[in-house]
């Protein structure tokens, strides 16, 4: 299983960047994101920056990953604290999975 890890860009060198997150410092490939700047947040998968994200999204993902760590260690998890952004809303489909509106259909 592959999990995305949010990381903060520390430095940039051509098409790679040194990033920090969750106690690690690694060099990631930035071909998919394009040029980055120190201080920006990226979602990383398998050594590559896949998406530019904001600090709020990074925090939400990190809280969810903290909860998974706690569950795997056999601890109790405060679901409200770790998944509060998901608990009080209805799930939403991404735009590309939503049905086309009647006026958007091809004739």
CA angle 21, 76, 79 (to 5 degrees): 70
- pLDDT reported for residue 6: 98
* pLDDT tens, residue by residue, 75-106: 888 888 777 777 778 888 888 888 886 555 55
Residues in the chain predicted with pLDDT less than 50, given as ranges, are 107
Q: Which two tokens mark 54?
A: 């904001």
* 5-87 CATH choice from 2.30.30.140, 3.40.50.1980, 1.10.760.10, 1.10.472.50: 2.30.30.140
pLDDT at 59: 94
Residue of 30, 32, 36, 45 lying closest to 9 (CA atoms):
36
Q: Which residues contact residue 57 at a Cβ distance below 8 angstroms, ignoring those fewer than 6 apart?
A: 6, 41, 43
Q: Which two tokens stand for residue 75?
A: 């601890």
């Amino acid at each position: 299983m592959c999990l995305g890890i949010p990381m903060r860009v520390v430095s940039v060198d051509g098409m790679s960047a040194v990033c920090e997150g969750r106690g690690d410092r690694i060099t990631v490939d930035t071909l998919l994101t394009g040029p980055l700047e120190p201080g920006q947040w990226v979602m990383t998968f398998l050594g590559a920056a896949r998406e530019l994200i904001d600090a709020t999204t990074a925090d939400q993902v990190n809280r969810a990953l903290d909860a998974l760590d706690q569950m795997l260690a056999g601890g109790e998890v405060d679901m409200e604290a770790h998944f509060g952004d998901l608990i009080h809303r209805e799930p939403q489909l991404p735009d590309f999975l939503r049905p086309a509106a009647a006026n958007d259909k091809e004739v």
